[in-house]
Amino acid sequence: MKIIGIAHATLEFILKVSESSAPQEFAGLLRAEKGIISDIIILPGTESSDRNAVIKLFMMPNISSVGSVHSHPGPNIKPSKADLRLFGKTGSHHIIVGAPYDENSWQCYDADGQVQELPVLEVELGEE
């Protein structure tokens, strides 16, 4: 599936959950509809360290996802080595959110950990 962007409401949700989880991390998988990332599967009980968040993602059952999202407790939003291993396995789009969890404190990476553009789209999210 070609990803054209992320729904604004979904990004806001990610930022809000990241902020309310801090200093614990949260992690989840991204799902897309019609090429727009509009749904997140949040991992229950994500532990406090980056490594744990990533390991929990590895243990997820085989859910179809277009990528992953996780938060970092500080402002550093560069992928760690563990993050990169995860990116290679869970899809093409990977969002890392860092403090202070506003609209400028996130970045999207590709499966190799290279920064990639992810337009934020104003779309109506349909009812499930």
The catalytic residue positions are 25
Number of Cβ within a 10 Å radius of residue 45: 7
Nearest 5°: phi and psi at 49? Answer: -100, 155
Q: Which of 69, 83, 101, 109 binds Zn ion (CB under 5 A)?
A: 83
Q: Using an 8 Å Cβ cutoff, are 89 and 82 in contact?
A: no
Distance CA 20, CA 38 (A): 20
Q: How many residues at the interface with Zn ion, by CB under 5 A?
A: 3
Report in angstroms how near the CB of residue 35 gets to Zn ion at its nearest: 25
Report in angstroms how near the CB of residue 116 gets to Zn ion at its nearest: 16
**Interface of this chain with Zn ion, residues 8 to 67, rule: CB under 5 A:** 50
DSSP string for residues in 46-92? --SSHHHHHHHHHTS-----SEEEEE-SSS--S--HHHHHHHHHH-S
Between residues 5 and 113, which has the closer beta carbon with respect to Zn ion?
113
Report in angstroms how near the CB of residue 34 gets to Zn ion at its nearest: 28
Between residues 4 and 49, which has the closer beta carbon with respect to Zn ion?
49
Per-residue interface string for the shown chain with Zn ion, residues 63-82, x marking contact by CB under 5 A: -----------------x--
Positions in the binding site for Zn ion (CB under 5 A): 50, 80, 83
